[in-house]
Structure 1
Amino acid sequence: MISWAAATISLFLFFFAFTSLMGEYAMSEGNIRFVKDDHKVILVLRILTT
């Protein structure tokens, strides 16, 4: 049986990883828009990150 502490730590770790990935995606899309504002390049980024 999993203890409440292990479940809580697992949940926090999941949310930390998820929000870190979302933040990195947002920053990379912003950087691509700054360098080259092309919808095709952004579409490729979205396909690669899903």
Structure 2
Amino acid sequence: METYTAMRHFADSWGLLFMVLFFIGVALFAFRPGSRKQADEAARIPLKDD
């Protein structure tokens, strides 16, 4: 099997599955309960010196 064809097949199947699961994990992490306080604190970091 040609290398490009093998890599393309992997990307079309398992690679896509991995990217979808990674996206869902990041979204769940960002919208978990209690994360608003941490996000607000991180948003204020650039303004602390002013």
Could you say which TM-score interval applies, normalised by the shorter chain?
0.5 to 0.7
| Runs of 4+ residues deviating >6 angstroms | none
Deviation at 1:2, TM superposition (A): 4.0
Q: Distance in 1 between matches of 2:20 and 2:35?
A: 25
* Structure 1 runs not aligned, ≥5 long: 44-50
The Cα of 1:36 is off from its aligned counterpart by 3.8
Q: Is 1:35 aligned with 2:34? A: yes
Per the alignment, in what secondary structure is the counterpart of residue 37 of structure 1?
helix
Indicate the SS of the match to 2:31.
helix
User: RMSD value over aligned CA atoms?
Assistant: 2.3
Which of structures 1 and 2 has the larger relative contact order (alpha carbons within 8 angstroms, sep 6+)?
A: 1
- In structure 2, the gaps of 5 or more residues are 44-50
Count residues in correspondence.
38
Whole-angstrom distance in 1 between the partners of 2:35 and 2:31 = 10
**Partner amino acid, structure 1, of 2:31:** G
Question: Which residue is equivalent to 1:21?
Answer: 22
- Once residues 35 and 22 of structure 1 are traced to their aligned partners in structure 2, the CA distance between those partners, rounded to angstroms, is 20
Q: Structure 1-normalised TM-score?
A: 0.53
